[in-house]
């Protein structure tokens, strides 16, 4: 009797450990500002002349800025910054996402998840809530906004998309990252951190379509992992203040990376039965 009630065995689904980036695109603000012009603007704000001779040779010569430079150099309330973030972030996110979807040549009904990365603006609902109807995606699309991982947000987003398509191989994940750091600039903050951020960070968006490997060409994602370095928690990030977000860029960062990165990579490769000697690039 028990045997007759037993459910027939279902064929196991072939679940791949890998995922594939089949669409990849970026979107930038139209305004390009030379680094020298930023130096001049900083000098006017500070009431003294700045010289760029001390900059590293690889410092970008131009910067894509969402808002005009004179707007960025004026004090603004957090609500004004948020309005600017929404105005420019919506458009850049949609442009990058639409281009990635077109490159992937995917049926949009297959996109079951949108991962939205951004740490330079905080809105509720997050940008993906507007992005889904704007792109014509399904209303039951899963949403995963990630706001507090900073420079590591994009890589973490790829890992979460990887997890999703492994669990749902018949679906695809859309990853969108939008950062507008120029809108967080504090003209009254004379710290080195604030000045470096103004000269190094630029505004823009990026997007990727991640699918299970199905014979289509793309960039393979084999595995992802994270490693927390607690002693570096206060060396990179933002502090939310009355006038907005104050950037934190510690001079200890290069040393922290040098002391930690090698061991992290070796442990990551060892989990796959590989070593640094097996890596070509």
Q: CB neighbours of 180 closer than 8 A, spacing ≥ 6?
A: 66, 84, 85, 88, 89, 92, 120, 121, 203
Residue 86 is encoded by which pair of tokens?
């929404």
The token pair at 248 is 């934190």
Can you give the pTM of this predicted structure? 0.86
Residue 279: pLDDT band by 50, 70, 90 thresholds?
confident
Cα–Cα distance measured from residue 69 to residue 181, given in angstroms and rounded to the nearest whole number: 13
Q: What tokens were used for 56?
A: 């590293």
pLDDT at 55: 53
For residue 10, what pLDDT is reported?
A: 41
Mean pLDDT value across residues 30-42: 84
> 26 preceded by cis ω (within 30°)?
no
Q: Are strands 236-241 and 111-117 parallel, antiparallel or unpaired?
A: unpaired
In this prediction, residue 3 carries a pLDDT of 41
User: Helix, strand, or coil here: 143?
Assistant: strand
Determine the 3-state secondary structure of 146 from DSSP. Answer: strand
Q: How far apart are CA 160 and CA 185, in angstroms?
A: 30
**For range 171-193, the mean pLDDT:** 91
Q: What is the mean pLDDT of residues 115-138?
A: 95
Q: What is the dihedral of CA 8, 9, 14, 15, to 10 degrees?
A: 100
- Ranges of each domain in the chain: 19-220, 230-278
The pLDDT of residue 25: 98
The tokens for 101 are 């979807």
CA atoms within 13 A on the CB side of 138: 16
- Smallest Cα–Cα separation from 114: which of 138, 90, 91? 138
Residue of 20, 116, 119, 151 marked catalytic:
151
Q: What is the pLDDT of residues 61-98, one digit of tens each?
A: 788 999 999 999 899 998 999 999 999 999 999 999 99
In the residue annotation, 20 being an active-site residue is answered as no
Domain 19-220 has CATH 3.40.47.10: yes
CA angle 146, 149, 150 (to 5 degrees): 115
């Amino acid at each position: 009797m028990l045997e007759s009630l037993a459910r027939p065995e279902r064929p196991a689904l072939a679940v791949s450990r890998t995922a594939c980036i089949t669409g990849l695109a970026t979107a930038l603000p139209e305004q390009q500002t030379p680094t020298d012009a930023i130096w001049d603007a900083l000098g006017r704000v500070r009431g003294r002349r700045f010289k760029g001779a001390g900059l590293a040779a690889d410092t970008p010569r131009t910067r894509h800025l969402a808002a005009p430079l004179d707007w960025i150099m004026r004090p603004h309330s957090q609500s004004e910054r948020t309005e600017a973030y929404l105005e420019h972030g919506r458009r850049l996110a949609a442009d990058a996402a639409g281009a990635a979807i077109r490159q992937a040549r995917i049926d949009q009904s297959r996109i079951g998840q949108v991962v939205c990365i951004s740490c330079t603006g905080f809105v509720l609902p997050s940008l993906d809530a507007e992005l889904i109807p704007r792109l014509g995606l399904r209303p039951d699309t899963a949403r995963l906004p990630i706001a507090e991982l900073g420079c590591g947000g994009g890589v973490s987003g790829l890992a979460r998309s990887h997890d999703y398509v492994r669990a749902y191989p018949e679906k695809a994940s859309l990853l969108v990252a939008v950062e507008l750091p120029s809108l967080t600039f504090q003209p009254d903050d004379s710290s080195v951190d604030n000045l470096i951020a103004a000269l190094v960070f630029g505004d823009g968006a990026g997007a990727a379509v991640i699918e299970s490997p199905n014979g289509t060409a793309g960039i393979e994602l084999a595995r992802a992992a994270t490693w927390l370095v607690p002693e570096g928690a206060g060396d990179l990030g933002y502090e939310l203040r009355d006038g907005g977000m104050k950037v934190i860029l510690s001079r200890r960062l290069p040393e922290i990376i040098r002391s930690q990165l090698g061991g992290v990579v070796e442990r990551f490769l060892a989990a796959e039965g590989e070593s640094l000697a097996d890596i070509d690039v």
